[in-house]
């Protein structure tokens, strides 16, 4: 049997096959992939345009506590204290398979700066003034994690003297 597809002509077949495969894997693994797909929605926030995923009832809720440590020489060391969440850079850009794994996005004054794959990040400098530093937890496919209609993240303020 030939399983090659013309993507333009057969995209519905590919999509249907992908959904069927997801259902089968979800059933046998218990990972709840269908509920992840069903809960995705487009969300516009201060963090930009990203799909969001709401943590369903009964699932452990991830949390992040952002702690800003002034560096002894220059800049700041950002520490992410996580509960119910594992940073998995090896799985970035893959389909979401768990509500408790992924990476963080770092925003400065509402603008996404970078992804964070570890519990520490060095921020070398900021211009003088008041700066909002925010981290948000995201799934491997960059889905913003939500609970009770709120992004899962933490925000701190850094004041830089002139």
pLDDT at 145 over 50: yes
Question: Using a CB cutoff of 8 Å and minimum separation of 24, what contacts does 125-132 make?
Answer: 125/74, 125/75, 126/158, 126/160, 127/160, 128/160, 128/161, 128/162, 129/159, 129/160, 130/157, 130/158, 130/159, 130/160, 131/157, 131/158, 131/159, 131/160, 132/107, 132/108, 132/156, 132/157
- Each domain of the chain, given as residue ranges in start order, spans 51-160
Confidence (pLDDT) at 18: 39
Alpha carbon distance, N-terminus to C-terminus of the chain? 71
**pLDDT band per the 50, 70, 90 thresholds, residue 50:** low
Confidence (pLDDT) at 97: 87
| pTM to 2 decimal places | 0.70
Mean pLDDT of the chain: 78
User: What confidence tens digit (pLDDT) does each residue in 80-126 have?
Assistant: 999 999 999 999 999 988 999 999 999 999 999 999 999 999 999 99
Confidence (pLDDT) at 162: 86
Instruction: Determine the Cα–Cα distance for residues 103 and 118; give it in Å rounded to an integer.
Output: 8
């Amino acid at each position: 049997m030939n399983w090659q597809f013309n993507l333009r002509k057969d995209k519905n077949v590919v999509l249907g096959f992908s959904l069927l495969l997801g259902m089968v894997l979800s059933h046998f693994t218990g990972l709840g992939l269908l509920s992840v797909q069903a809960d995705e929605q487009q969300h516009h926030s201060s963090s930009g345009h990203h799909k969001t995923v709401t943590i369903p009832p009964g699932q452990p809720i991830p949390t992040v506590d952002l702690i800003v440590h002034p560096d002894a020489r220059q800049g700041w060391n950002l520490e992410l204290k996580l509960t119910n969440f594992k940073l998995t850079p090896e799985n970035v850009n893959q389909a979401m398979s768990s509500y408790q794994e992924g990476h963080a996005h770092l925003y400065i004054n509402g603008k996404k700066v970078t992804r964070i794959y570890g519990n520490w990040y060095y921020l070398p400098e900021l211009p003088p003034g008041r700066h909002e530093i925010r981290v948000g937890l995201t799934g491997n496919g960059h889905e913003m994690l939500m609970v009770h209609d709120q992004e899962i993240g933490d925000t701190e303020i850094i004041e830089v003297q002139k």
